[in-house]
Amino acid sequence: MTEKKSETRLQWARRHLRNGYIILTTRGAVALYGAAMRELAKLIDSPVGVFLAPRDLLRDGPRFLREQGLRAACGAVLRQIAAQYDPPLGRRRNPINDPLRQAAISYYYTYELTKPDGVVPSRRPVNEMDFALETPFAYDASPKRAHSIVAIVHAFYPDVLPLVLEKLHNVPGALDLCVSTDTEEKKRAIDAVCADWRKGKVLTRICPNRGRDIAAKFFGFRDVYADYELFIHLHTKRSPHGGEALARWRDYLIDNLLGSERIVRSILSLFDDPRLGVVFPQHLFELRGILNWGYDYDLARNLLKRMNIEIDKNLTLEFPSGSMFWGRTAAIRPLLDIDIGFADFPPESGQVDGTLAHAIERSLLMIAESRGFEWLKVAQRDLYPMGHTLLPVLSVDDLAEHRLKVFQPALGCVDSNFHPYATPIAETRPLLSYPSRNDRPRLTLLTPTVNPQQTFGGIATAMKLFSALLAELGDDFDARIVVTDADIEPQAYATLSGYTPVPYAASLDTERAALVDANEREGGRLNVRANDIFFATAWWTAEFALAMERERARYFGGERPFIYLIQDDEPNFYGRGAKSSLAEATYHHGDQTIAIVNSEELFSVMTQKYRFRDAYYVPYELNERIGERLTNVAREPTMLVYGRETVARNAFELICAALVIWQQRDPIRASRWNIIFLGEDFPDSLLYPVQNATVGGKARLDDYADHLSRALVGVSLMISPHPSYPPLEMAEAGLATITNAFAGKDLRRRFDNIVSPARLDPASLADLIEDTVARMEPFVGAIVPRQRSSAPPADAMRRFDPKTLAAELRRAAASPLYATGETSRSISASTCEIY
């Protein structure tokens, strides 16, 4: 015994010395240090686990230590160090995501709730990464069709109005004019100035001196907007509170909106895009440091709630500072339709913040986005000092690329680590979204991995069903695979060579078949189309699918289902706590969920517990390749054990304990039997004191079929209602198979050569192993035929049929979307939530 144990340690040492030498000679001493930290983490904690950056020790370390224990805390820190110095599998981060790292936007932000003076801080892009279109465009830009346009101007200072009217003459074609002020005397002066206006009709009104230009422009002319598709908001701004720094603000805004006819034509050409709702100037540079919620957050939040829009301070704050902008009437319709009047604004007393007018200004883009509209910023190069952030438009083709940088949705979460549980429950790090302009229907598979060495039965089943659906959908649908939990390895790219590798970043989204590595989240976004349908493969990917569907609905409207491949009752994977609750929650979206349930047994359990929009079951079938490679050879005294040490529901410890009891009780017979553990690799030392046992790891299908052809006994436990494929494969191959029953599951109904213990404890399992080995030992050297499965009754079940489901997906993709600018939305806008 001691000699064998010493040999195992010697082999372990040799293997690590060899690997260390390879790392040192190929990747250097830094990588060797990182790899050593990873191996140390495995020894201290486990082969897999969470990460904890050293810089976060003071903030998160005490809680992590208290909740997870010292070993897990040390392991988490060591894994983070390893990832820093030697990225997983000994390579740098996936080069496919290089564009993501280059284009990722950084933000000024704090989770601090308020500043000492009570101001609510905002999330803002750093100055160097806040982009705008340079105007005028370099080509002869003109709108492709005529738009009905009105200029709505609040002239509190009538002496400035001639300057405004002079600039408005740069608008080509007809332009009606609406001008407000606060006294009769000023109105007479305005009427005199406007008497020579020849571009269109003129309407002047007196409005109460409440709410300044905001109240006058939106509510003083509320009845006017219905007659116009586009408008421009202007006012005779002076900003006396700002001193010299803000003295040029008015001219800066007006010149960027109306500085020349070429500028105006450039801006109006943008509105040929029916999804564009607002165009406004890049912020005056002197203001950039004070762009925040100020004292307006609660006012804005309550205002937006009245329009069914939910926000939080973690969202990016973007707005037309100075409240001058071009807009589409349909984009602001929710604001015009709510019951707000001048009496809702405070009397004028020189306020510089904290009023309803300031809240409306900060809410405008969020209102537009809630109606499915987008926005863009513009600036002239000679008026803005950060020239590298101004994107020159050399041709109309540049606009599609530039939009990806300029338009950063104000209602879209940009925080990939928003949830407190995103650190200890790493798989739940949110996916962020970006609206695609590609309207082709697409089926998107969300899967933890596609790497061959990590692809167990569940992932393989998901890929098989996904491929079957795509085959039925044909050219009607594009395809996309989004990998959420593991860097995509070169072998996976080779296996999926029909898919175009694309970064986890906003793009033109033109690929017909795309493969996205979304394991690296920071700074990236996932393109979401109007006709995306998501296919989830585990509870956390179901969270992502639900979140992406909410984002899709917010961008484009309408309702789309999502497909949920349910391969187990996943809350049972964990003790009662956060993970089990999160997993459970994903089953309670019945109106949206098309459930595909793996196996008849699990279908019966899940459809009794939960309600789904539609539900199909996938029957057990022996893998075709395994079936082809099973051979009639003499059986050997071999026991196959499905032993995944890292998967609790496979009860690895229970199996090992039972084997020790059996071997020590029946040593002579046990000495004649070899035991092979299949399923995953783990150190041989974890088997001690089980004798005659080897770790076969994750065997290739050919090798697995050979094991099934030669062995006589199989042991495979699954502490869940899912039957698990290994015991069924073992039984069909002719092995006397030991597995457990569970609520809704008794595999003895499928195969006569399956047995189950009455109680699932080491002693009962050892008794069954002893009886089964004794019963099968006479067949050593004999040929044992394959067995036939008797599937449980399928009454009231719907067997998965790709053609039926493909027809349902086509109907879903053809259902109406939100008609931009025509109907009102009832959905709430998205915040940074994923469940």
Q: Over range 644-653, report the average pLDDT.
A: 92
Distances (CA, A) of 795 to 334, 617, 791: 51, 12, 11
List Cβ neighbours of 659 (8 Å cut-off, separation of 6 or more).
Answer: 641, 675, 690, 693, 766, 769
d(CA 131, CA 282): 8
pLDDT at 578 over 60: yes
H or E element at residue 384: none
Specify the CATH class of 427-619 in words.
alpha beta
Residues in contact with 191: Cβ distance below 8 Å, sequence separation at least 6, in sequence order = 204
Flag the least confident range among 258-272, 445-459, 628-642: 445-459
Give me 307's structure tokens: 């329009």
Return the C-alpha torsion angle 711, 717, 722, 725, nearest 10.
-20
Structure-derived torsion over alpha carbons of residues 455, 461, 466, 467, reported in degrees to the nearest 10: 80
What is the reported pLDDT for 833?
52
Q: Given CA atoms 336, 340, 344, 347 in this order, what sign does their dihedral have?
A: positive
How confident is the model over 144-168, as pLDDT tens digits?
988 999 999 999 999 999 999 999 9
> What is the Cα–Cα distance from 524 to 552, expressed in whole angstroms?
17
Per-residue pLDDT of 668-713, as tens digits, reads 999 999 999 999 889 889 999 999 999 999 888 899 999 999 999 9
Q: What per-residue confidence (pLDDT) applies to 167?
A: 97
pLDDT at position 796, please? 56
Instruction: Supply the mean pLDDT for the chain.
Output: 89
Q: Where in the chain is the domain with CATH 3.40.50.11090?
A: 427-619
CA–CA distance, 562 with 568 (Å, rounded to integer): 18
Looking at the chain, which residues constitute the CATH 3.40.50.2000 domain(s)?
625-779
Distance CA 84, CA 35 (A): 10
649-652: long-range pairs with CB below 8 Å, 24+: 649/568, 649/572, 649/573, 649/717, 649/718, 649/719, 649/720, 650/679, 650/716, 650/717, 650/718, 650/719, 651/717, 651/719, 651/740, 651/760
Q: What does the pLDDT read at residue 351?
A: 80
Whole-number percent of the chain with pLDDT over 70: 90
Is domain 625-779 annotated with CATH 1.10.287.40?
no
Whether the predicted pLDDT of 200 surpasses 80: yes
pLDDT at 18 over 80: no
What's the pTM?
0.83
- List the one residue out of 270, 271, 267 whose CA is nearest residue 259: 267
pLDDT band at 383, cuts 50/70/90?
A: very high
Distance CA 144, CA 273 (A): 10
Query: What's the pLDDT tens digit per position in 108-123?
Result: 888 889 999 889 999 9
Tally of CA atoms within 13 A in the half-sphere of 151 that contains its CB: 31
Distances (CA, A) of 755 to 714, 719, 748: 10, 15, 6
Q: How many whole angstroms separate alpha carbon 382 and alpha carbon 161?
A: 24
In the sheet with 390-391, reading across from the earlier edge strand, the strands are 202-206, 176-181, 149-154, 230-235, 325-328, 276-281, 374-379, 132-134, 390-391
Q: What is the tens place of the pLDDT at every residue in 43-84?
A: 887 665 566 666 566 666 776 677 667 887 788 788 777 766
Confidence of residue 423 (pLDDT cuts 50, 70, 90): low
Instruction: State the alpha helices, DSSP H only, in 509-559.
Output: 539-556
| H-assigned helices in 306-355 | 329-337
Q: What is the pLDDT of residue 635?
A: 97
Dihedrals phi, psi of 258, to nearest 5 degrees: -140, 20
The H or E element containing residue 44 is helix 29-44
* Cα Rg of the chain (Å, integer): 33
| CATH 3.90.550-classified regions of the chain | 124-406
- pLDDT surpasses 70 at 787: yes
> Distance between CA 650 and CA 644 in Å, rounded?
6
Q: Which of these, 549, 729, 762, lies nearest to 640 by C-alpha position?
A: 729
User: Which tens digit of pLDDT belongs to each residue from 791-811?
Assistant: 776 555 689 999 999 999 999
Residue carrying the six token digits 């984002």: 551
Res 348: pLDDT: 87
> Span 124-406: which CATH code?
3.90.550
User: In this predicted structure, what is the pLDDT of residue 366?
Assistant: 97
pLDDT at 99 over 70: yes
Other CB atoms within a 10 A radius of the CB of residue 663 amount to 22
Specify the DSSP class assigned to residue 476: G
- In whole angstroms, give the CA distance from residue 88 to residue 79: 10
Please check the confidence at residue 310 and state whether its pLDDT lies above 70.
yes
The helix (run of H) or strand (run of E) holding residue 614 is strand 614-618
Tell me if 377 sits within 8 A of 135, measured CB to CB: no
Percent of the chain with pLDDT over 90: 70
